[in-house]
Amino acid sequence: MKQERNRMYRIIFFFLFLISLTGSGLAQEAGKYSLSGRVVDKETDGGVEFANLGIEGTYIGIACDADGFFRIGIPTEMKDKIVTISAVGFNPIRMAVGELSQLKPLVLKMVPQTYKLSDVEVSAQSRVAYGMIKNVIDRISQNYWQGPLFANTVYRSEVRSDNATVRIREADVEFSDRLGYKMRDHKEAFSDRGYRFDKVKRNFEVRYLSDGMTSMDNLLGLDIVRCPGNILDREYMNDFDLSLEPETMYEGKPVYVVHYTLRKSDFAHSGDFQLKSLDGKILISKDDYAVLHNEFRGVSQQWSVNGRSIASKDSGNHQVSYETTCSYVKYGSAYVPRQMSLVAHYSTAGVTASGNQLTEVSTLDFSSYAPGSSKDFTGRVYFEDTKSN
């Protein structure tokens, strides 16, 4: 009986000892604080990746992991020393080691930084720009519509030969997205977004395959928030060179401007199978880090007749240079797409029988929205032969 009681006491003592090492994120070894905790974004509660913790005036420091977690040992005689927590895109935090050791739980909340280009050294602008893009990525789920989205849109395209308009197509198009901005995935971005033509006006008849092809897929692929494989893809963002441009106003809102140039010209980073070069700029709201406008210029060796995202060995349209835009607007409490535009210049003697240069200007304007609407459908109308009105 006595042995059993002693065994129980030992278990209780061991349990209490474990409690003393956990709970607050602090385990004090002989002469040392052992601190375990996390650095998070105060606005989103998401981890701040690779934030730095350092003891001022010493060589003691550590970097957080990709989710903001850290573990560091600090001698107890340094309890009055100052710890600095810093990360690109956030205001630094400073506090005494002793104060830090008393936090329960040990969660450090960093406040996103407001930037002025004049206050940032040129050598540091790239790091600041990366921090801005990371903030945009972290806030996609809270800034953009999460769920089914139906919209009425207006599609317009003009084909010009040496600046003279040859063909015009205007159409009312119903657009549906089953997931909205809930998931950024190649498969979902394609299979869960559909469109169908309603009222159509043309100045030509649809007689051949090329007559019925539209730029709808090319336009929808410009939605960099919905589609992965671009500057807003965490996996690929380090393959872009970034720089800051002067802050400006966009439709009455103050915005940051980040210029980007792609170093790896391939499909994974651009959605263009034959890409040769790409650069652009992205306008970011200072209020909530939402993308309000994106534009880029690209040069491609050739495009398939089915769109720039389709692999093609020879489409006949060599050396395509193009300019694009995509803008967003706040609908209620969340952002939705507002307009996509694409201007493509086909420069080859084989585009037309006469050898003239062709330019195609396409736009898609979202005229009305029904977020959460049950009026959804899948499938895309690649060949438009609706009876013209």
Asked, for residue 252, whether it belongs to a domain, the answer is yes
Asked, for residue 382, whether it belongs to a domain, the answer is no
Task: Determine how many CB atoms are found less than 10 A away from the CB of residue 74.
Answer: 21
pTM: predicted TM-score of the whole model, two decimal places? 0.68
Please tell me the predicted confidence (pLDDT) of residue 13: 41
Please tell me the predicted confidence (pLDDT) of residue 370: 86
Query: Are 188 and 285 found together in one domain?
Result: yes
Asked, for residue 122, whether it belongs to a domain, the answer is no
List, edge to edge, every strand of the sheet that includes 240-250: 193-202, 164-177, 149-161, 358-371, 334-346, 318-331, 291-302, 275-285, 253-262, 240-250
Query: Are 198 and 74 found together in one domain?
Result: no
Cα gap 381→389, rounded to integer Å = 18
Cα maximum dimension of the chain: 106
List Cβ neighbours of 9 (8 Å cut-off, separation of 6 or more).
none
Cα gap 37→107, rounded to integer Å = 6
Asked, for residue 331, whether it belongs to a domain, the answer is yes
Please tell me the predicted confidence (pLDDT) of residue 289: 93
Query: Are 193 and 92 found together in one domain?
Result: no
Please tell me the predicted confidence (pLDDT) of residue 121: 56
Tokens of 37: 């905790």
Query: Are 86 and 215 found together in one domain?
Result: no
Query: Are 94 and 147 found together in one domain?
Result: no
> What does the pLDDT look like over 150-174, one tens digit per residue?
999 999 999 888 778 789 999 999 9
Query: Are 178 and 305 found together in one domain?
Result: yes
Q: How many domains does the chain have?
A: 2
Please tell me the predicted confidence (pLDDT) of residue 70: 92
* Average pLDDT per 10 consecutive residues for the chain, totaling 389 residues: 47 42 46 89 87 85 86 91 84 91 92 63 71 91 92 93 85 91 77 89 87 88 92 90 91 93 83 84 94 93 59 57 94 94 75 62 93 69 71
Which run of H or E residues covers position 18? helix 2-21
> What does the pLDDT look like over 257-288, one tens digit per residue?
999 999 988 777 777 767 889 999 999 999 99
Please tell me the predicted confidence (pLDDT) of residue 162: 76
Please tell me the predicted confidence (pLDDT) of residue 157: 94
Cα gap 179→192, rounded to integer Å = 7
Q: What is the CATH number of the domain that holds 12?
A: 2.60.40.1120
Query: Are 105 and 138 found together in one domain?
Result: no
Query: Are 90 and 152 found together in one domain?
Result: no
> What domain range is 96 assigned to?
2-110
Asked, for residue 383, whether it belongs to a domain, the answer is no
Query: Are 62 and 198 found together in one domain?
Result: no
Which residue carries 């050396």 as its tokens? Answer: 319
Asked, for residue 384, whether it belongs to a domain, the answer is no
Residue finishing a domain among 95, 110, 125: 110
Q: What are phi and psi of 346, to 5 degrees?
A: -100, 110
Asked, for residue 126, whether it belongs to a domain, the answer is no
Query: Are 189 and 102 found together in one domain?
Result: no
Query: Are 171 and 79 found together in one domain?
Result: no
Asked, for residue 378, whether it belongs to a domain, the answer is no
Query: Are 62 and 180 found together in one domain?
Result: no
Please tell me the predicted confidence (pLDDT) of residue 226: 93
